Chains A and B, each alone.
Chain A
């Protein structure tokens, strides 16, 4: 390990935290913005530089073990304090248990190696690298976006809202915590960063300090603390059983119970059913929070952990249950998204569904599935981050996040709308990334009938909510004027940056898959993987891209030509049974009762009788709990 690797390591973890602190204390907005931008550039740069250095291992000085213990106590105590402060005795109780666990770990001797094992505390392998890249690049972009967003937000936020300085501290600092999390190998460090993200998320969700924000922050803390608890129990068991308190030890050997507990923690963090409620509640936060914490990165921590563990439990019954849990989440969250007209909630459900897809892939565990999981992870982060940013901009403009209110934004904010359309298109359009990932996932699920069925149902459902949303925002009448759009520079720049990334990445999915993902997967050594499975991976990589590009290009090209050649004189009002009121921009008005002027309107379908959140949620939660129980039911046989 070279010195500048250490520097890199520090830049990725401590850098953002440091800059966040600077932002917190910076006296003026201008300075703060500059700090945030510098932090973003540095973090992103460090992340990119990491590519050249992977793989890396960090062995920490022995004294850092005590530091870790100290930090662990500190964080648990903070949580306890918060719990008491917000009067949530359940959280307090869990924090106390955590305290007890931490203490008992100190007191009880571990069997065998324990901390003395030769495993590194931090590891950067390809998986970690991918996540670091996602966090430090997408995350940084979102932080910059937040500059413009928060300026507007400060003017409109409720008076209770905390200062922007604090906001940026948690936002930027979060990147560091996240980087630490994905690079951590030692369970203790993992738990520390894990809890740190929980804390950040609690602070950020509660940022506006409205009663709703406070409540939802509490919910997030509750569920994530529960996950943290599971993680600490896993750590303790590992400690006691002598499996080694490192992820690398866990993945190498067999440690079903801690693994199951870690998976449980992962499910809570990535808001898999039945733990989805906190993520939905988190949507009250300012949109950069949703974008950063709750789609692009923090929830990825959960799915990352499952992916990390996947090679170890591959082929076991645990894997089967994990796959089912993920697939069920995928289908159920997609169904729930249909009933939503709140745009951010739709995004949230879609996020949950896609995380479910990653979890499924990890559960299936074949090389193809693993590749699919990685693929979803990358493309989802970019697309979803972009979409959240777009919706944030739209919401600030029209003052609503309801899908039905987004009709006509084409005229109000053409640039953002087109970017939003591309973002949404990237969820649906072959050969862009999300669709290819879904394709890989379904193909890899062929041997697990139940999982497959759930995926099939889910993917049929996804089209529904995307199509109707796209349909709503792009609706246009010919005669209305497009308004020049004024966006804050940071917002515009970040939107453009990310949309470029989405398009470029999307058009090169198969090259990326072949050049990147396949080597990563092939580089792993997993006992359960067969040559057959690897061959499948290669076969999938052989899908030719050119027909897609040719026809997409042709379609767009000819379409745009016709678009440009369409003449004003060929415009006619929509069909309204002959009662249109002609002329003017409102050609969709019609005469009706007593010659009155009425506006034709067709709301989107939410299929309330099938997909209402209120009645669907209890049922899917019940089923999901049953799956969770099965997760541990498999243990009972083992123990």
Chain B
């Protein structure tokens, strides 16, 4: 028999929060081939646009993913607003930014916890998720739900944040900043974490460009690409610093995301300060006609919605390409040559989200 080990890694595997299978071929514990088997979470929701009208689909878009749920609905709404030539009020743009960035913090904290868990650092996992509870409480107070904010609509947002709510946001942001100041340097300087991440899952800049990596994965390999630079929502006004690293390993990805968490807090502060008054949405009349590709930067990178309407209240076609879909090919390039113990670390280092990837 073969000297090679062949194992299914997933779909039901506790290290993988979502079902996906990697068929690993290993020599002892060194991975020589890793191929993904997907489809454990494919529902076919793109086709639901034929059954639900374009307003209902805002909620559908939100449930493409339960992590950056809000950002999905925003992408969808931005796309429709472009087709239908709707200009949304300024306050709505700022609110979208605030919720978006708070979402990014929660997503990155969640990721940090799961990554720590993948290399058995339970304490970091627990602490990251403890901080994340602060963010989720904030979301529930401002939007009415911890996960599915349900505040997006075509033409703006459904819900306003009062001045008191904004003050609440600032307080939480400060509290988070305090936690990060204590916690993030500890994590980044920990000997054992470095052992498990430095030099693991390397992706060179050339590979990243070639294979179309997006988001923190690309930025950790030295590609300074971040769609917030295009200034959608209120990013143009609020401005932000793009965080990049060059090493291209798991540690660099961790550093990028940690840096982004700080940057998120800064943006939220600036957005609250610059928050314009006024309406939060405009009424939208008629049905969409035409096609558009809407893109924005999710916690995991560039998400793309292709939307096509033909004048009916149901869209003709919706297609979603998520950041994880783009990062799968780079992942396959990172795995061969690593050790079995590194597989979960590398997989989680791209912050995979299979749910929206398979739709």
Contacts and interface: CB of A to CB of B under 8 A. Distances in A.
A and B co-occur in one complex: yes
Interface of A: 341, 404-405, 407, 576-579, 590-594, 598-603, 605-608
B6 interface: yes
A131 B191 CA distance: 58
Contacts of A591: 37
A395 to B, nearest CB: 15
B9 A577 contact: yes
Contacts of A405: 1
A590 B3 contact: no
Contacts of B23: 592-593, 598
B13 A592 contact: no
A480 to B, nearest CB: 15
B21 interface: yes
Given A592-B23, A598-B23, A603-B28, A578 B37 contact: no
Interface string B184-201: 000000000000000000
A404 B7 contact: no
Contacts of B3: 341, 404, 603, 606
Contact of B37 (A592, A600, A603, A608): A592
Contacts of A577: 8-13, 21
B2 A600 contact: no
What's the interface size class on B, roughly? 20 to 34
B7 to A, nearest CB: 6
B52 interface: no
B126 interface: no
Contacts of A605: 28-29
B158 to A, nearest CB: 40
Contacts, number: 61
Nearest to A576: B8
B155 to A, nearest CB: 43
Contacts of B29: 605
A598 B6 contact: yes
B35 interface: yes
Contacts of B9: 577
A594 B21 CA distance: 11
A606 B10 contact: no
A598 to B, nearest CB: 6
Contacts of A594: 37
Interface of B: 1-13, 21, 23, 27-29, 35-37
A593 B10 CA distance: 12
**Main SS of chain B's interface residues?**
strand
Given A579-B21, A593-B37, A603 B8 contact: no
26 contacts: A404-B1, A405-B1, A576-B7, A577-B9, A577-B21, A578-B11, A579-B11, A579-B12, A592-B8, A592-B21, A592-B23, A592-B37, A593-B37, A594-B37, A601-B2, A601-B5, A601-B6, A602-B7, A603-B1, A603-B2, A603-B3, A603-B4, A603-B5, A605-B29, A606-B3, A608-B28
B7 A600 contact: yes
B57 to A, nearest CB: 31
A593 B21 CA distance: 8
A577 B8 CA distance: 7
A601 B25 CA distance: 9
Given A577-B21, A579-B21, A590 B2 contact: no
Contacts of B2: 404, 601, 603
A601 B29 CA distance: 13
Contact of A578 (B1, B4, B12, B36): B12
B28 A607 contact: yes
Nearest to B10: A577
Contacts of B11: 577-579
Given A404-B1, A579-B21, A607-B28, A593 B35 contact: yes
A602 B28 CA distance: 8
A577 B35 CA distance: 15
Given A577-B11, A578-B12, A592-B37, A601 B4 contact: yes
B208 to A, nearest CB: 25
Contacts of A592: 8, 21, 23, 35, 37
A598 B29 CA distance: 19
Nearest to B19: A578
Nearest to A593: B37
A158 to B, nearest CB: 25
A607 B29 CA distance: 9
A454 to B, nearest CB: 26
Contacts of B13: 577
Contacts of B37: 591-594
A591 B9 CA distance: 11
A593 B39 CA distance: 10
Nearest to B5: A602
Contact of B28 (A578, A590, A593, A606): A606
Contacts of A404: 1-3
A195 B174 CA distance: 89
A60 B218 CA distance: 90
A578 B36 CA distance: 15
A111 B11 CA distance: 85
Nearest to A608: B28
**9 tightest Cβ-Cβ pairs between the two chains A and B:** A578-B12, A592-B23, A602-B5, A593-B37, A590-B8, A603-B3, A592-B37, A577-B8, A601-B6
